[in-house]
Every structure is written in structure tokens, then in C-alpha cells.
């Protein structure tokens, strides 16, 4: 039986476990990436492991998220990360060089290699046939130290593409269609693999838009084959030596096949407040808009910028609209500045932002009250823009630029025939904003520069024999990590200070939660389906850990967040009978007795609701390794112990 592409890369990197779907396997990791909002914590964890030099083929530390320096905190973090990188053998992409995923695709990604990154959109590099997976910071720290990365051997879903996109229909519309079909939880435990004749019609940046936003499906990753088009891209980046051809065997067997005919797609938008709330433009109508933001790791490539500049050429942004554009990398910004595309944007009235995440993570450009904002980003969770009642629609750059001129949500097909937008034979290559690490022989001379806002990892303790505490919070379905640990310009500078950032934990749902949980000292959170979807931020587990949360009981978990809870030593439990969710109220006293024995004996644990005077069963679906991590009180303690 032939193999899928994902299976081939997994099998070439598997170092523990069997190629058996649903079981835990360990992967050798070739490359890692971090960004600054998760990076400080990841490097504190790396330092705590006491390993002098990273053991990967390439590790890169990016500064792209916390670039707004409205106090000393972010600048201190940048300096800290830069010094750790220098000392420990990590490439350092300085602020201004661009968004981690865009730059990694351009300069570092290699087909067939494995990459884990402390950011959920790491699968972007699946666009060049890399097995690229988002993970918690601690998992990335372990991988930098030479440790394996553990995943559940995923099901492989094939999306077979046929046909060709019509003029002004974009890669964004492809992934929105996939989200419409599979929903934000349809990818959990799965790898999405793209094949078919339609693949040949998509350039690398278009493929990368699709794999990037595969994160919104909850998928482990998404991947395209590495073919002639990949070779052209790698050549133009001066990296053809890193290219190799990779594809699935013709008789590969997939767990599920979805057919999408690119020729049938039309422009779409994900409506507030979920990336899977997808509708065709004509279903939504010509709604009046207040703001347009173009950029983010999903849609900030040179190709995207060229299309935007073409649409804006000779026009003026509508008087009622604010248009901001953040090109994804220094390479993109430099090229559009030289070829005149940037001048067209400036002429039209666009507000040009630095090459960074910016508005995507609420770092500025929050819309006006109740404002309607079209964004080429990947997430439109409530409040993420920084304006609680902001109405965010996720769209292609083509829709965004055309609507910015019109003043309402407009269909770019009205423009008429689309010219051909080709990628250059040679990208502008200048890696001067990537600082190389100090050679190993001089590493001990490099001082680590710590700012006063950088606090250590929260205190952990081995799993308690009896957990007896109140339910401090009950929430519903699809709780995102933006609910659990909000981001935005005010809170992000606290990423390296868990005691302070914890004061914002779950405040989107309940402003009193942090003080209540702290007062209780120990507590349990109850949630619905797909709890923890969205980002990889381990702060969504570390803040609850700091606030004394011992277990989270839900109907189901998102993949990265579940791993982060385990890494933090918090029990991720699921209801055996979902009806028990309805019976629990906030404030109920719950007890789990003989935890260690119960966990050693199997997957089912008994929980007593002391107030309700009844018992119910929950499931702990983890591997034996993860049980051992939970017994130790988290991955850091477990790793320190196993390193002796
Ligand atoms: C996001 O898009 O939510 C982020 C900010 O990039 C996160 C990482 C973080 O919270 O720092 C992600 O996607 O993992
Ligand atoms: Fe940055 Fe937004 Fe991409 Fe996250 S999704 S890495 S915040 S651009």
C-alpha cells in the first residue's frame, strides 16, 4: 500500500512508537521557531533545562508580535531573546525583519524536514512540503534541547483540488471553503494533505495561505507536495539546494477524501465571530465598512501585495474607511518599495505599518465601537481586535483592497479581467537582519540580559492524591485561548510575567475569575466542546496553573491547548456522558480521590459532586508518557528529572 506525503515524512522522523493511527509517536525535530510573545517563556524553560547549545539543525527566534514598545517590557524581552539566541546557537530575526511564518517560508523552511514552532500558524511552511507543527513553548524548548516532539499519529485527510481559480478568487477563498466544510474543530487529530491537478495552479504563497489557516481547523498541520513550483520558489530565494521533490504515492490511502473544484469557488468571507462562519459575498450583501486591514502571516506575501497595489492604483481609499497594510517581511516591503507597488498604496491613502503581526494580535488598529472591519487575517474571535463589539470579517486581499475603495464589502470580480501576477525569478535577498549565534567557543562570554518584568516559571508540584475544590468557572463551547488568556497591546507585554498576566485570565468571560480563583487557592474549570481552540500560547495553561487550577473538565479539547495543560501539570479531563456537563454549576464542590491510583489503573476517573450528591465519570485520554508528566507536576519537572 502506498503512503501519503505526511506519512512519508512522519515515518522518516519517527523515533518512538508505531505508525498506528491514534497512538502516540515521537518525532525527531529538524528545525524550531519561536516568536517573542511565546519566546521569552520558551527560552526561560530552555535555560532551566541547562543545555548549553541547541541540538536542532536550525532554530530561529523571531521578534514580530510584541513590537509596540509603549513601555520597557517588550524591548527588554527582545533584548533577552537576542542574548539567549546568541549564547545558545539560535538564529535571531530582529524586529523589522518580518512575521515569523512569512520569513521562515522565505529563508529557512526545507521540504521534507520537520519544524515545530511556538505559534499555532507554524503549518505555513507546509506550503513547501514541510511537516510544520504548532506547539507550546515548553515543547519547543525540549525540541531545541534535542528532545523528541510527541503527537498522536494523525488521520490523514486528503483535499483533492481540481480546476483553476477564476479571476479575483483567491487562496483565501479555498481555505474558507475548507473551513466551511470541516468547521473549526473538524481538523482535530488530523493532517490535511492537498493533492490533485489543481495544486499545480497554485503558487507557493497561495499554498502557504491555505496551510497557514489550516490552524483554524484545529488540524495538526496541513501540507502540499514539493514540486516544480516549489523548486521555482526556492530558486528565486537562492535556496534550490534545499529543494527535493516530494509527493504522496499514487496508491496512497487516505482516511477521508474531500473534492474541491477550484473553478467553482467564488469570493467568500468568514463572518463574526468565527473563522468557520463562512458565507459567499452575495449572501452577506454590500455591508458598509469602517476599516480594512491587510497583512498577517496568512496574507502578506509579495504576491498579495502586488494584487493589492494593482487594485489601489490611481484610486483613493473611501472617506469613511481606514486602510492599513502590513507587508509580511522586510523582503516583501523592500521589493514593493523598489518596484513602485508601495507608492501606489501610499498614493491611495493606505496607512503602512511595520512588517509584524500588528492589528492581527490587537497591537494597534482596533476598530471604532461596533466598527465593521475587513481583515485578511486568520482569526476573528470576539474581542481579539481590541474592540469588544468590533465586527471582524476575514477576507482575501483582493476583497479587502477593492472594498477599501468602495466603502462597502465589495466583490472584486466587478473589476473585470485580472492581469497575471507572477512571482519574480529572483527575490531581493538580504539576511542582514538575522543575527547569527556566537560560536560555541565564545558562548560563555555572552551575558543573558534580563529585564525586571521577566519573572520565572510558576511553582509546580507533583499531582495531589486528592483533588477537593470548587468549580471556579463554567464556560460553553469553542472557548478560545483569546478568552482564556487575552492578548492585545495592554496585556501582551506581560507575557514574561505570569503573576501579572494571570490577573487577566478569563476576564473576557468573567472579570472576577482571577481574584476568585486565587482566593480559592485550588479549583476546577468546566468547559464545553473544542475548549482551548486557537493559539499555541502556553500562558493559557500557565496562568490557570498560577491561579491554582488543578483540572479542566470539558466535552472536548483543542490539540495544542490540551498538550499545554499536560505540560503545566493540569489534568485535561473529558465527560464520559456529556449530559453531566449540564448538571454542574459554578461553585459546586468537586472531588477526585486517589488520583494517581485511578490514573495508573486506566483512563476513567470518578468525580464526586459533593454539593449535588452524585458521582460522574471523566476520561483522561493521554499516553503513559503524559501520565508520567502529570504525576511529576508538568513537563519541565519531568524533563529535568529525566535529564538527571
Ligand atoms: C495568535 O495568532 O493567536 C498568536 C498570537 O500568534 C498565537 C501565539 C501567541 O499567543 O503568542 C498563536 O497563534 O499561537
Ligand atoms: Fe502573528 Fe497574527 Fe500570524 Fe498570530 S496569526 S503569527 S498574531 S500574524
Compute, in angstroms, the gap from residue 444 CA to the centroid of ligand 1.
32
Pairwise CA distance, residues 628 & 631, whole Å: 5
Q: Are 361 and 492 in contact (CB under 8 A)?
A: yes
Cell digits for 57? 539543525
Question: Which atom from ligand 2 is nearest to the alpha carbon of 378?
Answer: 5
Pairwise CA distance, residues 84 & 483, whole Å: 31
**With a 6 A CB cut-off, is 341 part of the ligand 2 pocket?**
no
Question: What pLDDT score does 20 carry?
Answer: 92
Residues contacting residue 350 through CB under 8 Å, at least 6 positions apart = 294, 312, 317, 323, 324, 325, 404
Pairwise CA distance, residues 11 & 423, whole Å: 33
Residues labelled catalytic: 64-65, 119, 379, 535, 537
* Nearest-ligand number for the alpha carbon of 532: 1
Compute, in angstroms, the gap from residue 408 CA to the centroid of ligand 2.
25
Pocket test for ligand 2, best of 378, 380, 482 (most atoms within 8 A of CB): 378
Question: Which atom from ligand 1 is nearest to the alpha carbon of 485?
Answer: 10
Question: What does the radius of gyration of the chain's CA atoms come to, in whole angstroms?
Answer: 24
**pTM: predicted TM-score of the whole model, two decimal places:** 0.98
Helices (H) and strands (E) counted in the chain, each on its own, are 22, 27
Compute, in angstroms, the gap from residue 101 CA to the centroid of ligand 2.
8
* Nearest-ligand number for the alpha carbon of 376: 2
Question: What pLDDT score does 644 carry?
Answer: 63
Dihedral pair phi/psi, residue 213, rounded to 5°: -80, 0
| Domains of the chain, earliest start first | 5-264 (3.30.499.10), 268-414 (3.30.499.10), 467-488+495-643 (3.20.19.10)
Question: Which atom from ligand 2 is nearest to the alpha carbon of 119?
Answer: 6
Question: What pLDDT score does 22 carry?
Answer: 92
Report residues whose beta carbon is within 6 angstroms of any ligand 1 atom. 37-38, 65, 119-121, 134, 361, 487, 534-537
The pairing of strands 256-261 and 155-162 is: parallel
Q: Whose CA is nearest to atom 6 of ligand 1?
A: 119
Question: What pLDDT score does 611 carry?
Answer: 85
Residue 24 burial (10 A CB sphere; 0-12, 13-18, 19+): middle
Q: Which residues of the chain have pLDDT under 50?
A: none
Compute, in angstroms, the gap from residue 38 CA to the centroid of ligand 2.
12
Amino acid at each position: 500500500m502506498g503512503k501519503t506525503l505526511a506519512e512519508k515524512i512522519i515515518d522518516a522522523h519517527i523515533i518512538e512508537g508505531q505508525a498506528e493511527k491514534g497512538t502516540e509517536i515521537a518525532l525527531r525535530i529538524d528545525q524550531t521557531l519561536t516568536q517573542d510573545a511565546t519566546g521569552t517563556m520558551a527560552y526561560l524553560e530552555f535555560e532551566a533545562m541547562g543545555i548549553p547549545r541547541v541540538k536542532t539543525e536550525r532554530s530561529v527566534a523571531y521578534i514580530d508580535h510584541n513590537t509596540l514598545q509603549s513601555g520597557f517590557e517588550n524591548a527588554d524581552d527582545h533584548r533577552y531573546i537576542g542574548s539567549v539566541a546568541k549564547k545558545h546557537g539560535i538564529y535571531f530575526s530582529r524586529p523589522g525583519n518580518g512575521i515569523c511564518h512569512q520569513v521562515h517560508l522565505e529563508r529557512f523552511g526545507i521540504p521534507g524536514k520537520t519544524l515545530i514552532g511556538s505559534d499555532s500558524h507554524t503549518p505555513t511552511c507546509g506550503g513547501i512540503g514541510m511537516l510544520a507543527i504548532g506547539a507550546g513553548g515548553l515543547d519547543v524548548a525540549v525540541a531545541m534541547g534535542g528532545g523528541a516532539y510527541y503527537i498522536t499519529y494523525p488521520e490523514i485527510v486528503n483535499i483533492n483540488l481540481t480546476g483553476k481559480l477564476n479571476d479575483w478568487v483567491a487562496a483565501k477563498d479555498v481555505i474558507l471553503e475548507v473551513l466551511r466544510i470541516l468547521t473549526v474543530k473538524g481538523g482535530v487529530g488530523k493532517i490535511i494533505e492537498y493533492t490533485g491537478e489543481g495544486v499545480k495552479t497554485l503558487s507557493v504563497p497561495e499554498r502557504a495561505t491555505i496551510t497557514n489557516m489550516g490552524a483554524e481547523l484545529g488540524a495538526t498541520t496541513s501540507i502540499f507536495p514539493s514540486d516544480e513550483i516549489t523548486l521555482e520558489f526556492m530558486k528565486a530565494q537562492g535556496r534550490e539546494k534545499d529543494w527535493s521533490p516530494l509527493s504522496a504515492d499514487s496508491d496512497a490511502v487516505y482516511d477521508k477524501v474531500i473534492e474541491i473544484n477550484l473553478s467553482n469557488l467564488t469570493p467568500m468571507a468568514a463572518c463574526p465571530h468565527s473563522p468557520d462562519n463562512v458565507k459567499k459575498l452575495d449572501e452577506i450583501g454590500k455591508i458598509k465598512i469602517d476599516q480594512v486591514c491587510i497583512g498577517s502571516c496568512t496574507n502578506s506575501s509579495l504576491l498579495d501585495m502586488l494584487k493589492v497595489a494593482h487594485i489601489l492604483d490611481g484610486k483613493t481609499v473611501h472617506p469613511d474607511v481606514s486602510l492599513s497594510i502590513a507587508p509580511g517581511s522586510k523582503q516583501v516591503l523592500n521589493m514593493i518599495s523598489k518596484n513602485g507597488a508601495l507608492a501606489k498604496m501610499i498614493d491611495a491613502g493606505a496607512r503602512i505599518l511595520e512588517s509584524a503581526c500588528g492589528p492581527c494580535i490587537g497591537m494597534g488598529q482596533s476598530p471604532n465601537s461596533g466598527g465593521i472591519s475587513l481583515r485578511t487575517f486568520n482569526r476573528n474571535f470576539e474581542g481579539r481586535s481590541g474592540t469588544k463589539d468590533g465586527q471582524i470579517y476575514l477576507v482575501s486581499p483582493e476583497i479587502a483592497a477593492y472594498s477599501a475603495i468602495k466603502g462597502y464589502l465589495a466583490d472584486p470580480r466587478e473589476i473585470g479581467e485580472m492581469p497575471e501576477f507572477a512571482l519574480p525569478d529572483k527575490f531581493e535577498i538580504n539576511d542582514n537582519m538575522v543575527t547569527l549565534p556566537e560560536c560555541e567557543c565564545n558562548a560563555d562570554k555572552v551575558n543573558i540580559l534580563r529585564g525586571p518584568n521577566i519573572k520565572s516559571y510558576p511553582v509546580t508540584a507533583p499531582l495531589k492524591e486528592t483533588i477537593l475544590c470548587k468549580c471556579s468557572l463554567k464556560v460553553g463551547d469553542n472557548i478560545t485561548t483569546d478568552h482564556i488568556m487575552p492578548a492585545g497591546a495592554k496585556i501582551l507585554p506581560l507575557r514574561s510575567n505570569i503573576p501579572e498576566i494571570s490577573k487577566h485570565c478569563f476576564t473576557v468571560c468573567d472579570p472576577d475569575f482571577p481574584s476568585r480563583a486565587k482566593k480559592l487557592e485550588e479549583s476546577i474549570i468546566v468547559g464545553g466542546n473544542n475548549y482551548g481552540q486557537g493559539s499555541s500560547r502556553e500562558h493559557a495553561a500557565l496562568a490557570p496553573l498560577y491561579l491554582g487550577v488543578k483540572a479542566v473538565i470539558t466535552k472536548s479539547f483543542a490539540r495544542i491547548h490540551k498538550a499545554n495543560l499536560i505540560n503545566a501539570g493540569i489534568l485535561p479531563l473529558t465527560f464520559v456522558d456529556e449530559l453531566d456537563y449540564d448538571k454542574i454549576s459554578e461553585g459546586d464542590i468537586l472531588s477526585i480521590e486517589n488520583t494517581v491510583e485511578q490514573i495508573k489503573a486506566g483512563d476513567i476517573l470518578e468525580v464526586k459532586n459533593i454539593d449535588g450528591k452524585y458521582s460522574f465519570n471523566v476520561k483522561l485520554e493521554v499516553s503513559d508518557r503524559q501520565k508520567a508528566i502529570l504525576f511529576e507536576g508538568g513537563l519541565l519537572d519531568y524533563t529535568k528529572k529525566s535529564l538527571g
